[in-house]
Amino acid sequence: MARTHDVLLTNDLVGVWHLVSFQDLDEDGGVREGPLGPRPRGLLIYTGDGYLAVSMMRTEGSADGTSAPRYMGYAGCWRIEGGRVVHLVSVTPNPDWVDVEQVRDVELNGEHLTLYGTAVIAGRPQRRVLNWQRGRTPERPRRSRPSRQDKKGS
How far is 111 from 109, CA to CA, in rounded Å? Answer: 6
How far is 64 from 37, CA to CA, in rounded Å? Answer: 10
CATH number of 2-136: 2.40.128.280
Q: Low-confidence residues of the chain, pLDDT below 50? A: 1, 5-6
How far is 11 from 50, CA to CA, in rounded Å? Answer: 11
pLDDT at position 106: 96
- The model's pLDDT over 141-153, given as tens digits with 9 standing for 90+, comes to 566 666 565 555 5
Type of residue at 72: M
Nearest to 17, CA basis, from 145, 137, 150, 97: 137
pTM, full prediction: 0.79
Distances (CA, A) of 88 to 36, 53, 56, 144: 22, 11, 17, 37
